[in-house]
Amino acid sequence: MTPEEFRKEGAKVVEWLAAYYEEIGKFPVLSKVKPGEILAKLPAKAPETGESFDQVMEDVNEIILPGITHWQSPSFFAYFPANASFPSILGDLLSSGLGVQGMLWATSPSATELETCVMEWLAEMMSLPETFRYRSSGGGVIQDTASSSALAAVVAAREKASAYTTNKQGVTRRMTAYVSTQTHSSLEKAIKIAGIGRDNLRLVEVDPNFAMDPGLLSEAIRKDKEEGHLPFFVCATIGTTSSNAMDPIRKIGEICKEEGLWLHVDGAMSGSALICPEFRHFGDGLELADSFCFNPHKWLLTNFDCDCFWVADRRHLVNTFSIVPEYLRNQASDSGEVFDYRDWHVQLGRRFRSLKLWFVIRHYGVDGLQQFIRNHVNLAGQFAGMVRASEHFELITEPPLNLVCFRLKGTDEENMTLMNKINSGGEIYFTHTKLAGKVVLRMSIAQSHTSEQEVNTAWKLIRDAAEKMNRK
């Protein structure tokens, strides 16, 4: 494909996407295809000779589109948000097109330095503590997902606690880590990967709001110390995935400081809210944390993948991950004057991800992004109000931000039936969780184009379906 042909075909893809967003409301939000249906429509073998671009785009329409669950639909209320925006898509396009590797400063200085810049901008926007700023001992880096950040934090913590012996000798003693029963599954995954073992991960019980109980955390640490283990890591969450619970960062942080444990704060889903002064109290105590992450690819208009990860002392990361084979040595790295971000995570190769984040922040400005967050929080408040006022439903938690947890007054089975029935209709898509042993329905209100209209429609669908079930 020549640049001239790229102009032509590129225009088609841009047009396709513009039209997709104009018509997104027409598709069932949750794809209706059956397992194997898409695969059966695709040829078993690759074509021997090249095919036309138009043929490929036709298959996108005919084969791929029916198997899409529309995460960008304004009526997508499932799981967690993954909101995108046009400026982000265009920043990402530029990144794909430039095709540079950001593994070392030297392999594209702009990729490293723009990343440092946007991470500083965000730190400032969220009033993150000085420890996380690159001019102090810390700094920020963009990872793909919060799972990778969790793994980086666990491994760096493991190294620090063992005086850098586990990298060398492997895990040779029982080291214990602490999360709440509500902490994201990626933490358990990281603990397993890092060779610590699931048996050494303590699930601390939560209070009635599903937030970690700091007293029980203290007890668990003391018990492990008494038994001769080496407690090394705690993860606290700003906004759990299941119910948006807010762990008490400050109290947990004080315990971690006292006991000498690494505190990682996972704000993957809800950390974006810290850009608004009125929600910043959820991050109170972050200056006691050793690492913190949140995902602009969830709730800050930046398309996947983009997780922002900060550490209070970058030496722990670099000491843990740095390996310099001769073929990557270069004058800039040897000088010690630059960051080589490949030493801040698992992967070597790295995409120029800061571009899309830079496009987003500049297009919307701090004001625009704050409005975006506030709008969703308001909509969630309205939805919660409708649940509260209804006779058939109950609110399970007071939503701190944009996730509403509620349930039909009835059995778990009735709740699941209600949800599956509505989802199969295709007008909206929402999902469930379990809290205190009971099925709970979740409305995650945070897609880029969600407005009062979609939220009201969703409530009407849910309420009407419940009334129909009641009449039977």
Chain positions 235 to 264 lying near its own copies, rule: CB under 8 A, are 241-242
Cβ atoms of 263 and 237 closer than 8 Å: no
Nearer to its own copies, 84 or 380 (CB): 84
Any idea what DSSP says for residue 408?
A: E
The stretch among 79-87, 210-218, 230-238, 461-469 that binds its own copies (CB under 8 A) is: 79-87
Instruction: Using CB under 8 A, pick the residue from 194, 249, 404, 408 that binds its own copies.
Output: 194
Binding mask 14-53 for its own copies (x = CB under 8 A): xxxxxxxxx-------xx-x-xxxxx--x-xxxxxxxx-x
Nearer to its own copies, 46 or 163 (CB): 46
One-letter amino acid identity for 210? F
Nearer to its own copies, 31 or 209 (CB): 31
Residues numbered 277 to 306 that lie near its own copies (CB under 8 A) are 297, 303-305
One-letter amino acid identity for 250? R
Nearer to its own copies, 87 or 271 (CB): 87
Question: How far apart are alpha carbons 103 and 120 in whole angstroms?
Answer: 19
**Can you point out the beta strands (E) in 267-340?**
291-294, 307-311
Site membership for its own copies, residue 107 (CB under 8 A) = yes
Min dist. Cβ of residue 76 to its own copies (A): 10
Encoded tokens for 98: 């430039």
The stretch among 198-206, 218-226, 230-238, 248-256 that binds its own copies (CB under 8 A) is: 198-206
Q: Look at residue 232 and give its three-state secondary structure.
A: strand
Which residues are CB-contacts of 177 (< 8 A; sequence separation ≥ 6)?
Answer: 154, 187, 191, 196, 200, 201, 202, 231, 232, 233, 234, 235
Q: What are phi and psi of 434, to 5 degrees?
A: -120, 130
Encoded tokens for 216: 């029980």
The stretch among 59-67, 202-210, 249-257, 386-394 that binds its own copies (CB under 8 A) is: 59-67
Binding mask 344-373 for its own copies (x = CB under 8 A): --xxxx-x---x--xx-xxxxxxxx-----
Min dist. Cβ of residue 389 to its own copies (A): 26
Residues numbered 150 to 189 that lie near its own copies (CB under 8 A) are 151, 155, 158, 166-172, 174-175, 184-186, 188-189
Nearer to its own copies, 12 or 468 (CB): 12
Q: How many CB atoms lie within 10 A of CB 147?
A: 19
Q: Which of 421, 424, 399, 426 is nearest to 408 (CA)?
A: 421
Cβ atoms of 126 and 382 closer than 8 Å: no
Min dist. Cβ of residue 91 to its own copies (A): 8
Answer left, alpha or beta for residue 426, where phi above 0 means left and psi between -120 and 50 means alpha.
left
Residues numbered 435 to 464 that lie near its own copies (CB under 8 A) are 442
Min dist. Cβ of residue 352 to its own copies (A): 9
